[in-house]
Amino acid sequence: MSELGLLVAFAVGWLIYAGGKRLDLRAFFRVTGVLLILFAAGLLAHGIHELQEAGLLPVVIEHVWDISPILSDEGTLGSLLKALLGYNANPSLLEVAGYIAYLLAASVAWRRSSRARPAAGSPAG
């Protein structure tokens, strides 16, 4: 049985290696960069939510919207979106503002840093 596991591990490793040679790394890291920005914005919004529950941040408008009947954050898809992107079916105004502000600031910083680097193969001049 351990030989079968070793064979499967070898096959999976070889497939990853063979597929990785054809992978466009620039596109891969662009997509993962966008996903990391979305993850971080969700973490910030969730942190704001927790600080509001603890009474350390003010609650200006408690629920900007409530789409729980459409996509509850207690369901399967909602809990997956909540874990990955910080989804909240009924966010407060401060959560929405924090999420959007972080997305804007991080997107601007990311685009500036990608423009500052010379393209691969071009002179650094």
91 by DSSP, 3-state: which? coil
Model confidence at 116: pLDDT above 80 = no
First to last CA, the chain: 58
pLDDT of residue 16: 85
Give the list of residues 6+ apart from residue 37 with CB closer than 8 angstroms, or none.
103, 106, 107, 110
Claim: this prediction has a pTM higher than 0.85:
no
User: How many whole angstroms separate alpha carbon 63 and alpha carbon 95?
Assistant: 10
Q: Tell me: the pLDDT tens digits for 1-26?
A: 678 888 999 999 888 888 888 888 88
